Amino acid sequence: MSEAATLPVTKAEALDALRIIGELCRRYQITSLDGFRQGCAEFAEEESLNVAILGRFKAGKSSFLNHLFGKPLLPVGVVPVTTVITVIEYGPRALAEVVFKNGRTEQIPWERIGDFISETENPENFKQVERVRIELPELERYRGIRFVDTPGLESVLRHNTEASLDWLPKVGLALVAVGVDPPLSQHDIELIRNLSRYTPNVAVLLTKVDVLNELERSQVQDFVEEQLARYWDKPVPLFPYSIRPGFEHFRAGLDARLLSQTRANAGEHHAGILRHKIDSLLAECAEYLTLALKAAEVDDSERRLLRQRIVGEKEYLDDTRQTLRLAARHAAATARTTFEALLHRDELPVRDRLIAQFNREFPGWTSSLATALKQFEDWLSSMVRSEMESLSIHHREEFVQPVRRVSRQLSESLQDFRNRLSERSVQALGVTLRTSEMEFRVEDPKSPDVRVGKIFDRNWELLSFLLPMTLIKGLVRRHFERKVSDVVFINLSRLASQWEEIVNASLSALEKEAIQRLDSLIATIEKLTAAEGHAVAAIRADLASVGQALPPNAT
Ligand SMILES: Nc1nc2c(ncn2[C@@H]2O[C@H](COP(=O)(O)OP(=O)(O)OP(=O)(O)O)[C@@H](O)[C@H]2O)c(=O)[nH]1
Ligand SMILES: [Mg+2]
């Protein structure tokens, strides 16, 4: 897995092959390969080779890079930290640049990158950062390779996992960070399997080995090597590592055995990886065409039946669509009551806090009722706004939770559908269809701009000039206190409804996208299985063109 086992391709050859696959995908409506095709095209254009550090959250990925660079560049910590893809490479002068999802870029001092990369400063990537790019002159020795720090997988923070998995098609060399405790999980194995679709160069970085004594270390190393050998024929190189003093020889070993070689042969590696990616893509494209070919070869009378056997009866498809719709709509229907119940728990504490504060402020509002009214209105409006804003931030995770849950449910339902489709295709025609569901791209809901409603109706103002404050102070205080309670209640409802509106818009976008994906997948299979006998020759020619899209391999 470490060596590129295939003949490298040039950029021009790769782009030619991608053009052929693109044309076939358009003709046969194969939309499932869009993400992979785009990843390959971007990789073909890259000048440098990406060395990506991937793996479970808290495995020590960012710490490893800081240690390698000898500089506390990336934020690290005991809770999930990295929330944004960060690309670090050599540049003639120090530079840090934030690239936002809308394409805007902003240069920042490198000491401020934590404001964009870390989960505490940029929770759930609400700043909508696509990636952060850093150039450092001291990385001259790694010129030609580009390090990529990725958000940790498998934590409860799903957006982090999604950001990393979405990035996989662009991977060059992958270093999978595995902490010694636990040493290698099923998820790590799945990650390596998934990565092998995109690169032949995967290595394991066994982190935090300082917490073990020498005997334990060699036991863990043997265990990890044995496990990896169970899954892959070719050895996956293993690099023990520690950032603690006394373990510098591990850095030197990694540098000599992996990074320096990679750097010296970056161009060759790049070409080998590109070949690997395009070979995988061609193989997957060929599966679709083989399905079309087998369908075209059966009798016309059997074809309809065959399509049904693969795609399923109409009722089954309607049920699948209905399941997707219901998941989104059920969450939408219950959002308001859930949010109100959630905020109801804050009503008393907020009210008590404001009334206590009010009782401290009120004695100072002495001049006239008109002024007291104005002072009260300004004070209450600003206090309520700040309370609502902090509640909105504090409960954000709970407000957006239905969106995350539904996104996961829809993804799982669609992946189940794809798996069944592949099983049915194997049963009917002996052809597998390797399709995997891309994560949903619906943007995270943004927090609302908290609005506070009008505090008073204007009748009070008419009275306010007539009544001297000293006479009515007690009355006014009681009235104001009641007003505080009412305003808190009304604005909690308003906040619930603002979040409901935002969350429901996201849920409805998710529902729409899920149905579109299902329909587009069905359309692909229907198109493929509708191929008739007279199309056999053309499909064979297309399959041959897939086989010849790249110059032949040595192996
Ligand atoms: N003992 C020991 N602790 C380490 C080592 N490397 C990292 N750690 C600790 O492991 C914790 C996680 O480190 P990070 O570098 O933030 O891990 P990460 O994989 O980047 O985490 P995410 O960005 O959240 O996915 C921190 O508390 C580090 O101090 C090591 O070599 N030895
Ligand atoms: Mg990190």
All structural domains of the chain with their residue ranges: 46-264, 311-437+447-542
Helix (H, G, I), strand (E, B) or coil at 178: strand
Let me know: does 203 contact 174? Beta carbons within 8 Å. Answer: yes
Let me know: does 282 contact 19? Beta carbons within 8 Å. Answer: no
- 152 Cβ inside 6 Å of ligand 1: yes
- 79 Cβ inside 6 Å of ligand 1: no
Query: Closest ligand to 64 CA?
Result: 1
Mean pLDDT, the chain, rounded, equals 86
If you measure from the C-alpha of residue 399 to the centroid of ligand 1, how many angstroms do you get, rounded to a whole number? 30
Let me know: does 162 contact 114? Beta carbons within 8 Å. Answer: no
Residue 258 CB coordination number (10 Å): 19
**Residue 448 carries which side chain, given as an amino acid letter?**
P
- 210 Cβ inside 6 Å of ligand 1: yes
Residue 187 CB coordination number (10 Å): 13
496 vs 188, 394, 499, CA distance in Å?
Answer: 40, 13, 5
> 409-430 in b/e burial notation, b at 16+ Cβ within 10 A?
bbbebbeebbeebbebbeebbe
Query: Closest ligand to 79 CA?
Result: 1
To the question of pTM greater than 0.75 for the whole model, the response is no
Place of tokens 């086992």: 5
Ion ligand 2: residues, CB within 5 A, are 61-62, 81-82
- 247 Cβ inside 6 Å of ligand 1: no
Please give the average per-residue pLDDT across 520-537, as a whole number. 87
Residue 343: what pLDDT? 96
Task: List residues bridging with 88 in a β-sheet.
Answer: 134, 147
If you measure from the C-alpha of residue 179 to the centroid of ligand 1, how many angstroms do you get, rounded to a whole number? 9
Let me know: does 54 contact 61? Beta carbons within 8 Å. Answer: yes
- 62 Cβ inside 6 Å of ligand 1: yes
- 175 Cβ inside 6 Å of ligand 1: no
- 32 Cβ inside 6 Å of ligand 1: no
Helix (H, G, I), strand (E, B) or coil at 147: strand
If you measure from the C-alpha of residue 109 to the centroid of ligand 1, how many angstroms do you get, rounded to a whole number? 24
Closest listed residue to residue 83, CA positions, set 138, 31, 120: 120
Give the relative orientation of helices 266-297 and 11-27 as an angle to the nearest 10 degrees.
20
State the SS3 of 118-146: ECCCCHHHCCCEEEEEEEEHHHHHHCCEE
- 207 Cβ inside 6 Å of ligand 1: yes
517 vs 47, 254, 424, CA distance in Å?
Answer: 33, 43, 19
Query: Closest ligand to 210 CA?
Result: 1
- 242 Cβ inside 6 Å of ligand 1: yes
Q: How far apart are CA 62 and CA 53, in angstroms?
A: 8
- Among the four given CATH numbers 2.40.30.10, 3.40.250.10, 3.40.50.300, 3.20.10.10, the one describing domain 46-264: 3.40.50.300
Asked whether residue 464 carries a pLDDT value surpassing 80, the answer given is: no
Which amino acid residue places its CA nearest to atom 16 of ligand 1? 76
- Which ligand 1 atom lies nearest to the CA of residue 82? 23
Closest listed residue to residue 518, CA positions, set 418, 423, 441, 419: 418
DSSP 21-84: HHHHHHHTT-GGGHHHHHHHHHHHH-SSEEEEEEEBTTSSHHHHHHHHHTS--S---SS--B-S
Confidence bin at 3 (pLDDT 50/70/90)? very low
pLDDT in tens, 50-66: 899 999 888 999 999 99
Confidence bin at 155 (pLDDT 50/70/90)? low
pLDDT in tens, 176-229: 999 988 788 888 888 898 888 888 899 999 999 999 999 999 999 999 999 898
Let me know: does 544 contact 317? Beta carbons within 8 Å. Answer: no
Secondary structure letter of residue 87 according to DSSP = E
Asked whether residue 252 carries a pLDDT value surpassing 60, the answer given is: yes
67 phi, psi to nearest 5 deg:
-65, -40
If you measure from the C-alpha of residue 68 to the centroid of ligand 2, how many angstroms do you get, rounded to a whole number? 14
